[in-house]
Amino acid sequence: MREIKLLSALLDYPSGELQQHAGELLDVVEQSPNLCKRSRHRLAALIVFIRDADLIELQSTYVGLFDRSRTLSLHLFEHVHGEARDRGQAMVELMEIYQNEGFEISSRELPDYLPLFLEFCSRQAPDTAIDWMQRSGHLLQEMEARLSARNSPYAAAFQALLDLTGLPEAGSDFHDKIHREPADDTPDALDRAWEEEPVTFGPGAAACGSVKTDSGQAVPVDVSNLGRPV
């Protein structure tokens, strides 16, 4: 699905290449039969934001959102067990799933990095891709709600993921909860976050966790063929 590949690119660490392909991304959004009007409008605004931003400032904004806040981490397994020791085996198991599907990644790449996971999903049949994304549905809901609370244009990407998977946005109770949450993008807050009870990643999911990496070393996502069906 081209829309999933597009969202993978938009959520990856911003690059000049991504900005250069903004027109192609806008075409994919405009022509999408799988996104509702609201999703298309919000995604177009996000693409324009990325296209028009100063690259250094855009990268700084990205790091401030996704690297300095555990609740906004793009490494899905960080939302599960944090520093739990069994995360390594879970990473191996997810890597094996990728390999069994013919999806090869380098040893530097973390399999739970959301843009990489979405790239994997984009190569599956639509029903299979949606099933994979639904397994982390509640995390997508929470990310969309938290980004919306910060008035971040990146909330559009998660709203579009929910749209594609047929899942609703987080309810008013959760929105009220996040408005009461203290900021978690300071070193002290991040240390406290690791001490909290981990959440469950999807229905029946195996135990898993992650290792944090700098966004500057994020998995590169190819945006050069978004205009062509996958």
Residue-wise pLDDT for 108-122, tens only, equals 778 889 999 999 999
Number of domains composing the chain: 1
- CB of 143 closer than 8 Å to CB of 75: no
Mean pLDDT on 193-205: 42
pLDDT confidence band for 86 (50 / 70 / 90): low
Number of Cβ atoms within 10 Å of the Cβ of 16: 8
Number of Cβ atoms within 10 Å of the Cβ of 160: 28
207 inside domain: no
112 inside domain: yes
204 inside domain: no
174 inside domain: yes
Least confident of 11-25, 27-41, 67-81, 146-160: 67-81
217 inside domain: no
Beta bridge partners of residue 113, listed in sequence order: 75
172 inside domain: yes
pLDDT averaged over the chain? Answer: 79
180 inside domain: yes
In this prediction, residue 137 carries a pLDDT of 86
Percentage helix, strand, coil, to 5, in the chain?
60, 0, 40
Domain residue limits at 46: 2-195
**pTM for the full model?**
0.78
Mean pLDDT on 195-223: 38
In this prediction, residue 122 carries a pLDDT of 94
What percentage of the chain reaches a pLDDT higher than 70?
72
Residues 6+ apart with CB under 8 A from 176: none
209 inside domain: no
In this prediction, residue 30 carries a pLDDT of 95
